[in-house]
Amino acid sequence: MKTYLPSVQEIERRWFLVDAEERVLGRLASRIASILMGKEKPCYTAFLDTGDFLIVINADKVKLTGNKWENKTYYSHSGYPGGLKQIQARELLGKHPEQLMKRAVKGMLPKNKLGRKMFKKLKVYAGRDHPHQAQKPEPLVLGEN
């Protein structure tokens, strides 16, 4: 018996809508990463992009547990001496609320060309409005917290 391998034309991609309001960031990000990779589908193949598109709304109302609002720090470096920048999670939420969700999901995807391709299927918006009504996204309920 041969192992079934879906061709690129056979892979069916759907659009889902996730509401991040009052959801814990890490738990939500791990489920989103799993759906972007396609692990929820029976045709999952590790070296193919079989995942679906995801629209996340209300990213500005996401929760963090414990003292992570003050203690969690995000770093970036320009490559030049003294070019280290750091920002607390609460500040990042105030300036760029969608970046909090994007950074969490990106860290859970593969670190290669395929992971970058999967990450492009994630659309994150701070409020309730999004420009993807034409794709007819289905609401996706992801369990408790």
pLDDT tens string 37-94: 999 999 899 999 999 999 999 999 999 999 999 999 999 999 999 999 999 999 999 9
Domain of 103 in residue numbering reads as 15-64+93-139
Query: CA-CA distances (angstroms) from residue 15 to 4, 121, 133?
Result: 24, 9, 10
Report residue 127 as tokens: 């409020």
pTM (2 d.p.): 0.92
* Residue 59 placed within a domain: yes
Contacts of residue 6, Cβ cutoff 8 Å, sequence gap at least 6 = 43, 45, 48, 50
Q: Is there a domain that residue 39 lies in?
A: yes
Can you give the pLDDT at residue 50?
Answer: 94
Indicate if the pLDDT at residue 135 is higher than 90.
yes
Tokens of 51: 């995942």
What is the per-residue pLDDT for 145?
A: 58
- The count of structural domains within the chain is 1
- With cut-offs at 50, 70 and 90, classify the pLDDT of residue 144: low
Locate all alpha helices (DSSP H) within the chain, ordered by sequence.
Answer: 25-37, 68-71, 89-95, 97-106, 113-119
Domain assignment of residue 9, yes or no: no
